[in-house]
Structure 1
Amino acid sequence: MFSCTRCGNKVSDGPLCNLCKRQFDFACAGITETNFRKLGERRSTWRCIDCKNAQSPASTSYNNPGIAVRLEEMQATLVNITQQLVPLASLIEDVKTIKLEISNLKSSVEFAHQTASQLSVTVKSLESRISQVEEHTNLIHILGADLKKFKEDLQDKEQWARANNVEIKGIPVKKSENLYDIVDNISKVIQCSIRKEDINYIARVPSLKAESQKSIIMALNNRYCKEEFVAAARKHKELKVSQLGYADEGYVYVNDHLTLFNKALLKKAKDLAKTKNFKYVWIKHCKILARKSDTSPTFRIKSEKDLLKFS
């Protein structure tokens, strides 16, 4: 048994990505168990969609071909830095203990039976220990800053790997549905043609909501084609499910495919915008942007620190 990297469900079998070493259940991997078995010896070279997108020849202008390898190296570096940060708690406790020892020592000097030379040696030893602890503390601050930068770089790389992806929400799940036909219907309504050969990959992905609310992730071969599709959908405001031939009520949402981190960051930004009377918070080229009014300057939100700009 193992937990699927994408949805977290416990399953007994599923594909293992040859590049990033993540393991998925068959639904999240985008391949049926039967087709996976048919791969035979090629199962050992199977790659997940993120790694395929990162190394896709059609997107080499926008994606680094070695992104999966570098991400793995950066993750290894993060693990190494995290291990170096482990002694921080014990070092802080050492500082507290040493300061307490010095305080007690100074308050009891007049009652001590040690000679002046012995006291001097003890104090010097304690001061030396404090100096070493302070040096380690400074190093930990430096490592913490490096760790933060690595995390930001990883977030940027993960989002960049999705630069050609579109996330479509609100389409009800039906048995034997054809996702290519669904995209074709959307294209006709928003008047932005997407040919089948323009699509590198398309699949339903797990949702935190009900099974019937699974999003559709579509990876296009060309980033400009993706940007045109998203822009056309946004111009066509209030795209309804009924316009696509469904009897259901509700709306269809077409957006950039954000990482989980950026989705959470976008929600926080929108909540703050309401509180701080900001007029605009939007996504462009997978970037979160905000502006207080029509005449205010636009700023980008990359981390929670940038949320302080809402004032």
Structure 2
Amino acid sequence: MVKCSACGRFLSPTGAATCTLCPGLYHRACVGIPETGRSPKQWKCPECIAKKPKVGNVNTPVKGAEPSNTESEGSPAEKSEIVEKDIISESALDTSQSSDLSLELRLFREEIRQLRTEIQDFCAELCDVRGAIAVCNQRMDEFDSRLINLEKEVKVSSSRCAEVDKLEETVAQLREDLNARDQDLLQGDIEITNLPEVNGENPHHTIMVVAAKLGVDLDEKDIIFAERVGKKNDSSSQMEGGTRGRRVVVRLARPNLRESFLRSARTRRGITTEGLGFDLPARRFYVNERLTKKNKQLFYLVRETAKRLQWRYTWTKRGKIYARQGEGKPAHQIKSETDVDRVFGEVQVG
């Protein structure tokens, strides 16, 4: 709210008298401008007019002598008329000032009412913002708790994975140890394959005949046991020229006899069943170390891989599997399928 530069009371900018030289605003009644009329276009306030420098004017008439007291006093009727006019002008001035004050109060109340409305709207918006912030804080707390739980689960799962990996390594090591122990129990055994099988045969006699053909000095007391193993009369046992027969497993009493048996078989590679007393066409038979089921599968994989990659030598010695690419090349011991990929893979990469 602005104030009148003359009386110092509040006034409304609309309808106020505005000076063209200064920013001052005035009530129309304070500067003698009618309320309903228009303000002059180049109107100047009394202060700006008073500040305007005065210039000499020779045409200004000189005032005469002051009239005597008798002449200036006038008649009593005139004096009473003048007093009445002054009272009427003062009452009109008071009426106009009170009307201006009521207008100013109404405008001021309207502005206060609008300000209250704005403040109420602002408070409502502030409450909404506080509610939204509270919801966000709650969701952030939920996210924090979920993140903490997830971190705990990840730690537990990682520890469990580490424990599982350790257990798997332990199980693999135990299996390898059991397989090595089982192979040690077969140190005195040999295995003969592709010998014909006839009804009512004596495996001990068959082994004695095979030993004589290989040139091994073997006594019947040196054989702890000799027997056919495997499923009898399966579809895989039929071949051209008669029955191939199941494998013959022999356990010898002395380790040197086993080594002699295997050495003689390697020396006479390509030996056949001719002269062994079978009424069937001659065929090759094979004498090898007896391996555990796991080592037998691994040896088969090694032989097939060596054949595919044109490696010349694969053999077993005391239950251990070896492979060599050729003459002058190093021998590689293979204990697992991982070693197969490592040994033969390095050669392929190289």
Place the TM-score, normalised by the shorter chain, in its bin: 0.5 to 0.7
Deviates more, 1:294-303 or 1:121-130: 121-130
Provide the residue aligned with 1:245 in structure 2. 277
| CA deviation profile, 1:196-248 (whole Å, cap 9, x unmatched) | 11111111111463284211111111122111111112211222112312232
> Equivalent residue of 1:243, what SS?
coil
In the alignment, the residues of structure 2 paired with residue 248 and residue 184 of structure 1 have an alpha-carbon distance, to the nearest angstrom, of 19
| Cα separation, 2, equivalents of 1:290 and 1:176 | 40
Q: Residue 152 of structure 2 aligns with which residue?
A: 128
Aligned to 2:301: 268
TM-score of the aligned structures, taking structure 2 as reference length: 0.54
2:285 counterpart of 1:258 = no
Q: Structure 2: which amino acid aligns with 1:272?
A: T
Question: Among 246, 269, 272, which residue is 1:214 paired with?
Answer: 246
SS, match of residue 282 in structure 1: strand
Gaps of 5+ in 1: 1-110
Max radius of gyration: which structure? Answer: 2
Q: Residue 277 of structure 1: CA displacement?
A: 2.1
Unpaired runs of 5+ residues, structure 2, are 1-134
Deviations 1:70-108 (A, max 9, x none): xxxxxxxxxxxxxxxxxxxxxxxxxxxxxxxxxxxxxxx
Q: Distance in 2 between matches of 1:261 and 1:112?
A: 63
Match of 2:198 among 174, 178, 190: 174
Counterpart amino acid of residue 236 in structure 1:
R
Percentage of pairs with the same residue: 24
1:113 Cα deviation (Å)?
7.6
Give the AA of the match of 1:225.
Answer: L
- State the shift of 1:281 in Å: 0.7
CA distance in 1, matches of 2:195, 2:153: 64
Q: Secondary structure at the match of 1:242?
A: coil
Q: What is the CA-CA distance between 1:121 and the residue it aligns to? A: 2.0
2:41 maps to what in 1?
none
1:285 aligned partner: 318
User: RMSD value over aligned CA atoms?
Assistant: 1.8
TM-score if structure 1 supplies the norm length?
0.61
Higher relative contact order (Cα pairs below 8 Å, separated by 6+ residues): 1
Alignment of 1:223-234 (within 5 A): 223-234=255-266
Corresponding pairs, count: 201
Equivalent positions of 1:47-126 (< 5 A) are 114-126=138-150
Poorly superposed stretches of 4+, deviation over 2 Å: 111-119, 207-212
Q: Where does residue 165 of structure 1 map in the other structure?
A: 189
